[in-house]
Structure 1
Amino acid sequence: MRPPAVAAQNPWYREPWPWLLMSGPAIVVVAGFITLYLAVSGQDGLVVDDYYKQGKAINQALHRDDVARQAGLTATVTFDQTQDRVNVAVKRADGSPVTEALTLSLVHATRSGFDNVVNLSANLDGYTGRLPALRSGKWNVLLEDKEKRWRLQREINVGTAALAPLALRPVAVDAVDAVAPPLVGTPPAIKPSDAAQPK
């Protein structure tokens, strides 16, 4: 009588199940190293070291909006993406032209590395400058004089379509307060109008 035949058993590394079970942890380890590399090599443009100093700077910027509002300044910005030019027409409420040197800042909403400053040169129609390539997303467009006494601004959303002409106006102080309330635990913001009043 013969003993029953025993099926030949493959070694473990020739079976699919151990490899399938080990692939999950192996993928997690590789993904962990990729995440570590991205965290170490990337830069976070959103981190601010001194929040109190930033709050004081915001109050100074709001004063620049008040100066532009009192002067009755408005501007129209036209983007010519075919020729990589930006054209700006600035006027006062009384219709008199603005003759000072101007800069146009294109500030990305979340990535400071994408920000651009365009020095505008005067021409017969107003001002013109070289338009840098803009990535898609939200941008703040700020027009200001070189001495930073006043500013006009507007938020735009850049997509794949051509950019329409923009009308820039001073931001109302009340609108800024409604959009960005002060953080808990920080000193209250002092409005330029409050600073001028005696207590």
Structure 2
Amino acid sequence: MTEKQSPWRNPWVLGWIGLLVVFVMANFVMIYLAIDRNPGLVVDDYYERGQDYEKNMLKRQARNPGWKMKIKAPEFVDVAVPARFSIKIVDKQGYPVSPDSVTFYAYRPANVDLDFSVPMQVIDSGVYEAEISFPNLGVWDILVSAKQGDDEYNQSHRISAGVK
């Protein structure tokens, strides 16, 4: 006579149930972390900014002077070690341009709290430079903004700090 065993004692059934429990628990942990540790990369006035951008886009395109901006970034940037970034700004004919101000912005895509900006100094006609030190390891989005009156012209670049 064979005794009938309970299916709950079978190692295959227990393994599948354990796998399902681990999967569900991992999803709950990820949902909790996503809600609790939100970096808040959305601005409060997103709708108004979007309307302003659309309204003024054609005006900006009409006033575009055709400046050519080239960022010169070091090949390797280490964390907490100053690195020299420069930008060269020329007009359509290739002559140097001297805007009112030039600012270096660094954005951390994963954490808005680490974003910073540094004003760039005039080195030569149309050439601006700044010593930049990145506080954290990883990817950074760079935006160099040149302001002339009310107009602003930007050049972007992406680097990885501390990664060879």
Normalised by the shorter chain, which TM-score bucket?
0.5 to 0.7
- What is the alpha-carbon distance in structure 2 between the residues aligned to residue 111 and residue 151 of structure 1? 26
Contact persistence 1:76–1:89 (CA under 8 A): yes
Paired residue for 2:27? Answer: 32
- What is the alpha-carbon distance in structure 1 between the residues aligned to residue 51 and residue 111 of structure 2? 20
Structure 2 CA distance for partners of 1:11 and 1:104, relative to 1, 3 Å: same
Match of 2:69 among 63, 66, 75: 75
- What is the alpha-carbon distance in structure 2 between the residues aligned to residue 52 and residue 30 of structure 1? 37
Letter in 2 for 1:90: I
* Number of equivalenced pairs: 151
Structure 2 CA distance for partners of 1:43 and 1:122, relative to 1, 3 Å: same
Paired residue for 2:14? Answer: 19
Question: Pairwise mapping of residues 187-198 of structure 1 onto structure 2 (< 5 A)?
Answer: none
Give unmatched runs, 5+ long, in structure 2: none
- What is the alpha-carbon distance in structure 2 between the residues aligned to residue 124 and residue 102 of structure 1? 13
Question: Pairwise mapping of residues 89-168 of structure 1 onto structure 2 (< 5 A)?
Answer: 89-93=88-92, 95=95, 97-98=97-98, 100-107=100-107, 111=110, 113=112, 115-124=115-124, 126-133=127-134, 135-136=138-139, 139=141, 141-145=143-147, 149-156=150-157, 158=159
Structure 2 CA distance for partners of 1:127 and 1:49, relative to 1, 3 Å: closer
- What is the alpha-carbon distance in structure 2 between the residues aligned to residue 66 and residue 107 of structure 1? 28
- What is the alpha-carbon distance in structure 1 between the residues aligned to residue 30 and residue 45 of structure 2? 28
Q: Say which structure is richer in strand.
A: 2
- What is the alpha-carbon distance in structure 2 between the residues aligned to residue 148 and residue 32 of structure 1? 51
TM-superposed CA distance for 1:99, in Å, is 5.5
Counterpart check, 1:53 vs 2:55:
no
* Identity over aligned pairs, percent: 18
Letter in 1 for 2:21: A
Letter in 1 for 2:85: V
Which aligned runs of 4 or more in structure 1 are off by greater than 6 angstroms?
A: 9-14
TM-superposed CA distance for 1:24, in Å, is 2.6
Aligned Cα root-mean-square deviation (Å): 4.1
